[in-house]
Chains A and B, each alone.
Chain A
Amino acid sequence: MKKVIVIGNGMVGYKFCEKLAAHPNYSEFELVVFGEEPRRAYDRVHLSEFYDGKTAEDLSMSSATWYTENNIDLHISEMITEIDRENKTVANHRGDKYSYDYLVLATGSSAFVPPIPGVEKEGVFVYRTIEDLEATEAYAKKLKAAGKTEAAVLGGGLLGLEAANAVKNLGLNAHVVEFAPRLMPRQLDKGASDMLQAKIESLGLKVHLSKQTQHIQGDKAIEGLQYVDGTELKVDMLVVSAGIRPRDAVARECGLEVGTRGGILVNQNMLTSDPNIYAIGECALLNSMIYGLVAPGYDMAEVVVDQLTGGTDEMPEYIDMSTQLKLIGTEVASFGDALNDAKEDLDEITYVNKRNGIYKKINVTKDGKKLLGGILVGDSSDYNSLFQIYSNGMKLPEDPEDLILGSRGGEGGSLLGDVMDLPDDAQICSCESVTKGQICNAIESGKANDLGDVVSCTKAGTGCGGCKPMVKDLVDATLKSLGRVVKDNVCEHFDYNRQELYDIIQVKGFTTFNEVLDTHGNGGHGCELCKPLVASLMATIHADTANKEYAIQDSNDRFLANIQRNGTYSVVPRIPGGEITPEKLIVLGEIAKKYDLYTKITGGVRIDFFGATLNQLPLIWKELIENGFESGHAYGKSLRTVKTCVGSTWCRYGMDESVSFGIELENRYRGMRSPHKIKGGVSGCIRECAEARGKDFGLIAVDGGWNLYVGGNGGATPRHAELLAEQIDNETVIKYLDRYLMYYMRTAKPLQRTAAWQDRLEGGIEHLKEVIINDKLGIAADLDKEMQTLVNKFECEWKQAIEDPEMMKRFSHFVNSDDDDDNLVFVPLREQKMPEHWK
């Protein structure tokens, strides 16, 4: 039995335990871990989410029972103060001694606090542990109660910006103070930094560059920062985030070699100057560097596990520091030699789009053959591909600018071409160090049969998740190369995809889920994937409402309301085109008051009530319906709103009546069920106040009619809608829209928005024009007829529900009691209420 003691229970210390415990020879080891913080290792990378409602438990790297389940003796709140290398023992702060065969130092780093006079003043904090955050939060509360609001963060690097976001989340005005003339000076160039600065300033943060702090003002508590240049910044709080210092004290005291500027010296095996002691993570000085990122730390943990179990793995002499992350809502990535540190004679290609806040730069060799590095701000969706091209030295396209601009003209393909062209040792998942070879091999060897299997046996994609699309592509391509059909079956219960099921239900005229499952399924009971899908298809094909077979509906459709995070619901009546009379507005206010509902205008410019219990839903809807409202279908995969600007009815620039047409369209398509939600917009002129091009369908009034745009999207991947037809009249708009929507409902994948559907449609918008305008497939008449049936058969499903006592039975929290859920706790929020935070 080899006894291993780990000092430090941070992310890297934990990863070492995880990797050793998963090793086939783990039974030969006894593992003891000491952590001085009062809790198990947690995810420090996402620390700012602590102020976003996440708890320490949510951030924890493992479950409470994980250490015992894996026979690891974990001591928390225990600090190791002494290492006796001669007798191979360590002692904690109480003097208890423990012996070891091998020692792993994972003591991490502490926040670097520059020696500025006044840093000891009240109201000055660091940003490192959950305890630091709790202390900061308590102080911020005191400040706010006293009417004080200004907080500065010293340091405009990666951690400083994270800290600034945290301070902002505390409800304070955040100021970022940086010594260098730009943000993130170690990762970004001036252009990228400017773009990032503009983005975060637009969110209300203030940035102060080229500022060196001379001293901290104030008597007992901080009152401001005095800069060397004579100016000052009045603040009530300061969070110092000016870098890290490796924690090497215990190593230094026992005589291990340390670097002149700190850090425990290690060789490529991660061994310190003592052959029985390793150091990993931010306390280790490797290649004369302290690596402050988590990925290299994990690699070091892996190397030590390999060494201890008889392997010969080493850390490389050059470690890639490429990163991709989201800072204060802005995507930022840098890879390779982004700042040309090597001072090579190279070509820089930049793309700057101030309108959308996007900056992209790549460094390529003079001959245009190799990618050396780059920076992405505002849109890092190409990071994976660019990183692979860079790290594998792959050949560049003829015009290297295509890498950041996309190939213009003709078909837009993937940057990388075929994922299978990557070399086997290309690292796909950098968090878990998984290569392309390992992913493909998992399938080729028969260990894994699908994406889920690959993820569980290689751990690829379980870290930041950024590589998931590429892992999926690799899995699909490998399966294909083995001659296995990659079918987009809806789930284990059906060997059909959505479009096939659509045809089956339509041709056979099935009206219940059980009929479909019994005749075309693989047995069993169905599941949460196929049930709502079949429900949606039957709604489209038979014009049924969600009341028809409510147990197969997605849970929101089952209760005709959107479930909120505490299990209560929201209520959204339809307000077509956003037009509402004062009388109806008053009714809404009265109802919200009567039932004490949190009230907000939604993103789709209608009114949303929150906090309704299941028992209250029918009571509220009965009142709404009596007052002339109907369901807004905010809970369904169906039409939400048609947003309108005021148009020529009032606007001096309006070219047409956008409100009238918007109302007509919203009423036409209300209630129909689709693969995903659908939003529309109608603008009265090209100023586009209704933001119609960001919607699934959008109209803009122009001289001579309407321009019809389709396939726009906000959401995670914003996309402008594409022009389908120009200068058409109202009647033609409806004809084309009927066909477009019906074609989408027939052929899209489950839960695929129009934008993604259109992107993957062979031929794209040109194909759509052929089908919709020129009727290339000869289906236009069918599409017209099917849509007209849906329009004619519309019924308000809430009206149906409240008029039928049998349907009403489902709106009760208990089946054997009229009580409401007694677990609900609301807390006050700006004169309204909200559910208490998740613990």
Chain B
Amino acid sequence: MEAILDRYNSTSIEEVKVWFKAASINDFPADGGACVKYKNKQIAVFNFARTGKWYACQNVCPHKMEMVLSRGMIGDDKGTPKVACPLHKKTFSLENGENLNGDIDPIATYPVKIEGDNVFIGFAE
């Protein structure tokens, strides 16, 4: 199970080597998320339409290692954008990946940029 988590490392914008063109912005629901496949990774991408901000993180929830975070509800915890896992409602900050309602390991987050109508996710490899 560690092998799956090894695939996901938080990537800062400075570390980005590849901007992967994921899909059109219209493929993502407003104030919701969807999952993007990149090589052997599953990345959850969220469209915070109220502020026009986008976030990306690993799709796997580190609690039970299931590929489900993209299907979770999003919102904010005192201003911090977050996603709630649909399995047990563990919530994670989409800014730094931290588990906001427990002490589960943090999730990996990735930068997102929008160019034209397209959503790009930044990877270090």
Say yes or no: A525 contacts B37, CB within 8 Å.
no
CA distance A814 to B75 in the complex (A): 22
A816's partner among B29, B37, B74, B79 (CB-CB below 8 A) is B37
Say yes or no: A528 contacts B31, CB within 8 Å.
no
CB neighbours of A531 from chain B (8 A): 73, 75
A92 interface hit (Cβ, 8 Å): no
Say yes or no: A527 contacts B67, CB within 8 Å.
no
Given contacts A525-B81, A528-B73, A551-B29, contact A814 B35 (CB under 8 A): yes
Interface residues of A (CB under 8 A from B): 63, 492-493, 513-514, 524-528, 530-532, 550-552, 554-556, 558-559, 563, 565-567, 614, 809-810, 813-817, 819, 821, 823, 838-839
Say yes or no: B73 contacts A567, CB within 8 Å.
no
Query: A-side binding surface: helix, strand, loop or mixed?
Result: loop
CA distance A707 to B91 in the complex (A): 46
B87's partner among A528, A550, A565, A810 (CB-CB below 8 A) is A565
CA distance A532 to B86 in the complex (A): 12
Say yes or no: B75 contacts A524, CB within 8 Å.
yes
CB neighbours of A63 from chain B (8 A): 103, 105
Given contacts A525-B76, A528-B91, contact A815 B22 (CB under 8 A): yes
Interface pairs (11), CB distance under 8 Å: A514-B50, A528-B75, A551-B30, A551-B32, A555-B86, A563-B71, A814-B36, A815-B23, A815-B28, A815-B35, A819-B37
Say yes or no: A567 contacts B37, CB within 8 Å.
no
Say yes or no: B64 contacts A838, CB within 8 Å.
yes
CB neighbours of A532 from chain B (8 A): 73
Min CB distance A513 to B, Å, is 8
Q: Looking across the interface, which residue of chain B has its beta carbon closest to that of A532?
A: B73
Given contacts A815-B27, A821-B67, contact A563 B86 (CB under 8 A): yes
CA distance A821 to B43 in the complex (A): 12
Q: Looking across the interface, which residue of chain B has its beta carbon closest to that of A527?
A: B75
Say yes or no: A525 contacts B75, CB within 8 Å.
yes
B78 interface hit (Cβ, 8 Å): yes
Say yes or no: B73 contacts A554, CB within 8 Å.
yes
Given contacts A555-B73, A566-B66, contact A528 B34 (CB under 8 A): no
CB neighbours of A524 from chain B (8 A): 75-76, 79
Size category of the binding interface on chain B: 35 or more
B109 interface hit (Cβ, 8 Å): no
CA distance A556 to B32 in the complex (A): 14
| Additional pairs, 8, CB under 8 Å, beyond known A559-B71, A823-B67 | A492-B78, A524-B75, A525-B81, A527-B76, A552-B31, A558-B32, A814-B36, A823-B4
B15 interface hit (Cβ, 8 Å): no
CA distance A551 to B75 in the complex (A): 11
- Of all A-B residue pairs in the complex, the 4 with the closest CB atoms, nearest first, are A527-B75, A551-B32, A555-B86, A528-B84
Min CB distance B65 to A, Å, is 7
Given contacts A810-B29, A815-B23, contact A565 B64 (CB under 8 A): yes
Which residues, 3 to 36 on B, are CB-close (under 8 Å) to A?
4, 22-23, 27-32, 34-36
CB neighbours of B84 from chain A (8 A): 527-528
Say yes or no: B60 contacts A823, CB within 8 Å.
yes
Which residues, 55 to 100 on B, are CB-close (under 8 Å) to A?
60, 64-68, 71-79, 81-82, 84, 86-87, 89, 91
Q: Looking across the interface, which residue of chain B has its beta carbon closest to that of A558?
A: B71
Q: Looking across the interface, which residue of chain A has its beta carbon closest to that of B74?
A: A525
Say yes or no: B66 contacts A815, CB within 8 Å.
no
Min CB distance A283 to B, Å, is 29
CB neighbours of B105 from chain A (8 A): 63
CB neighbours of B87 from chain A (8 A): 563, 565, 567
Min CB distance B105 to A, Å, is 7
Min CB distance B48 to A, Å, is 6
Min CB distance B49 to A, Å, is 9
Say yes or no: B65 contacts A838, CB within 8 Å.
yes
Which of B31, B36, B51 has the largest count of A CB atoms less than 10 A from its CB? B31
CA distance A839 to B66 in the complex (A): 11
Min CB distance B84 to A, Å, is 4
Min CB distance A630 to B, Å, is 24
Say yes or no: B82 contacts A527, CB within 8 Å.
yes
CB neighbours of A614 from chain B (8 A): 71
CA distance A431 to B125 in the complex (A): 48
Q: Looking across the interface, which residue of chain A has its beta carbon closest to that of B45?
A: A815
Q: Looking across the interface, which residue of chain B has its beta carbon closest to that of A568?
A: B66
Say yes or no: B37 contacts A814, CB within 8 Å.
yes
CB neighbours of A558 from chain B (8 A): 32, 71
Say yes or no: A550 contacts B23, CB within 8 Å.
no
Given contacts A525-B74, A527-B76, A527-B82, contact A839 B31 (CB under 8 A): no
Say yes or no: B50 contacts A525, CB within 8 Å.
yes
Which of A567, A817, A819, A839 has the largest count of B CB atoms less than 10 A from its CB? A567
A555's partner among B4, B34, B50, B72 (CB-CB below 8 A) is B72
CA distance A531 to B76 in the complex (A): 11
Say yes or no: A816 contacts B23, CB within 8 Å.
yes
Min CB distance B7 to A, Å, is 11
CA distance A838 to B36 in the complex (A): 24
CB neighbours of A559 from chain B (8 A): 71
CA distance A823 to B73 in the complex (A): 21
Q: Looking across the interface, which residue of chain B has its beta carbon closest to that of A810?
A: B29
Given contacts A563-B86, A565-B87, A566-B66, contact A526 B37 (CB under 8 A): no
CA distance A113 to B73 in the complex (A): 53
CB neighbours of A817 from chain B (8 A): 37
Say yes or no: A823 contacts B66, CB within 8 Å.
yes
CB neighbours of B30 from chain A (8 A): 551
Given contacts A524-B75, A567-B66, contact A815 B34 (CB under 8 A): yes
CB neighbours of A492 from chain B (8 A): 77-78
CA distance A524 to B31 in the complex (A): 12
CB neighbours of B74 from chain A (8 A): 525
Which of A551, A552, A559, A816 has the largest count of B CB atoms less than 10 A from its CB? A816
Say yes or no: A823 contacts B42, CB within 8 Å.
yes
CA distance A838 to B82 in the complex (A): 25
CA distance A507 to B4 in the complex (A): 50
Which of A810, A813, A814 has the largest count of B CB atoms less than 10 A from its CB? A814
Say yes or no: A527 contacts B29, CB within 8 Å.
no
Min CB distance A823 to B, Å, is 5
Which of A525, A527, A532 has the largest count of B CB atoms less than 10 A from its CB? A525
Say yes or no: A565 contacts B82, CB within 8 Å.
no
CA distance A839 to B75 in the complex (A): 29
CA distance A514 to B75 in the complex (A): 12
CB neighbours of A527 from chain B (8 A): 73, 75-77, 82, 84
Q: Looking across the interface, which residue of chain B has its beta carbon closest to that of A514?
A: B50
CB neighbours of B91 from chain A (8 A): 528
Say yes or no: B60 contacts A551, CB within 8 Å.
no
